[in-house]
Amino acid sequence: MTDTIRNPLLTGFNPDPSICRVGEEYYLATSTFEWYPGVQIHRSWDLANWTLATRPLTRAAQLDMRGNPDSCGIWAPCLSFADGLFWLIYTDMKRYEGNFKDGHNYLVTAPAIEGPWSDPVYLNSSGFDPSLFHDDDGRKWLLNLKWDYRQREGGDRFGGILLQQYDVERKRLVGPIHNVFAGTGLKLTEGPHLYRRDGWYHLLVAEGGTGYQHAVTMARARDITGPYEVHPDNPVLTTRERPDNPLQRAGHADLVETPAGDTYMVHLCGRPLPDTQRSPLGRETAIQRVVWGEDGWLRLAHGGSAPALDVAMPGVEQRAPAAEERYAFKPGALPADFQWLRTPHPERLFSLDARPGYLRLYGRESVGSWFEQALVARRQDSHYCSADTELEFEPEDIQQFAGLIAYYNRFKFHYLAVTLNDHGDKVLSVMGCHDEWPSGRLDIDASDAVVLEPGRPVRLGLDIRERELRFRFAQGDAGWQTVGPVLDAGLLSDEGSGRAHGYFTGNFLGMAAHDISGRGWQADFAGFRYRRESR
């Protein structure tokens, strides 16, 4: 599509975008939550086409999420460039349910986007969504929301936006802490970013929560510590009153200026399945053109406050993703699209060198473990898609199982697993978990278990058609056969749990091995194929 960008810009789980420009290049960072390595950073030359540049948090000194609950870990990174360095601010959230939030904010730097990235500098733990602002006078300021565990009557636990100076030489926050903005009536004020323009400090925040009431609001002040006056047309961006818009949950944004002086806003959004409020692709990243009015306030270029699906950008041609991705497993590193869960010690989970041409997984803790789980997967980025792999696995016990998995979190997954039955037969079984604790339980349909021929590989596949997920398998010269019932693909989403606040990630498709006997039994996967299907 020429001269137009079709949203979302980054499809599949890519929330909380932070963007910066260095010369002619743009860099965009998004949250990764419990998936390792931490933070996705994409690169673009034209704002329309993006490639994954790096995931910078790669070692234990920077990030260790073992024990972090679902949807904790890396929240809302902020990426900027100043003084010849990239500056990356991030939260490692250790707990988020209930009155308390235990989140620790850190800073790492690098001379180039590929690194080397420094060991972290600890900043504070007063609240999440930290952001670093580089002022014109050379001073640097950290912003983050203040978490108020009390939740007073008529209010919420989002206690305003804090501002404090960061001392580069001493590598610590210094001076007084200013609470500069209490937010608007939309409440749940978070995601702050600060900009300087025409003598004003412009504060952009996310409000309304990250669900279907999400929004972007703005305020400005002559002095960095305020007082901040609220934008007369807030919210600047939202779909809270537009359930017909294909880009729902619009909010949590950042701004970037092109070399030509045009301004664009990147923001998160969600694309729910038709006639539902379930988004298995998770929160994605979109882009909008914005303009500064004669009154000095920022607004959407196309008018109103609802995001546009198609954004005019003369001179660009947005490339469609490949219809099929084939991944070969070679010695060295995983293919870039794949991640694993929580641990900075992947050598205990998998190896690409033990058997060249295969991904060897070492079965560890149970599916859904918050500590050490051998699960390697990539994002689902289309409502119509398929995936398949070939597995060699000879279990010795019912406590050993491996296979193909569609995974959202510990209580929401569908798993086509090879294991043993009570008679010692090698079987293929469909496992799933469909709810929250304490009602959440593992469902295994033993009546659909398929006896496999031992000593031979088995091909495993799945097909997703919007709300429906169906597993299939093949062994030897036989063609594909379906196995198990039609499953609910919409369950694997933020909203699929029925919780009031949902979760924050997206569905992943990949390979898993579990050995709850503790023997670390191995499973070998020969390649992986992912296909985006036409309707």
Separation CA 121–CA 109 (nearest Å): 9
Residue type, 2: T
CA dihedral 470, 475, 477, 478 (to 10 degrees): -40
Q: Which pairs count as long-range contacts for 155-161, CB under 8 Å and 24+ apart, including other chains? A: 155/187, 156/187, 156/188, 157/99, 158/183, 158/187, 158/188, 158/189, 158/190, 159/127, 160/189, 161/189, 161/192, 161/203, 161/205
* Structure token pair of residue 359: 């991904």
Cβ atoms within 10 Å of 421's Cβ, excluding its own: 13
Separation CA 80–CA 26 (nearest Å): 11
3-state secondary structure 96-143: CCCCCCEEEEEEEEECCCCCCCCCCEEEECCCCCCEEEECCCCCEEEE
Burial zone of 116 (CB within 10 Å; 0-12 exposed, 13-18 middle, 19+ buried): exposed
Separation CA 183–CA 190 (nearest Å): 9
Q: Does the annotation count 372 as an active-site position?
A: yes
The pair phi, psi for residue 461, each rounded to 5°, is -145, 165
Separation CA 17–CA 48 (nearest Å): 15
User: For residue 341, what are the contacts with CB-CB under 8 A and spacing of at least 6?
Assistant: 34, 35, 36, 65, 373, 375
Of the candidates 25, 325, 365, 372, the residue annotated as catalytic is 372
Tell me which DSSP letter residue 493 carries: S
Separation CA 443–CA 295 (nearest Å): 59
Separation CA 39–CA 115 (nearest Å): 13
Separation CA 36–CA 342 (nearest Å): 6
Question: CA nearest 352: which of 337, 372, 333?
Answer: 333
CA 390, 395, 397: angle at the middle one, nearest 5?
150
Active site residues: 372
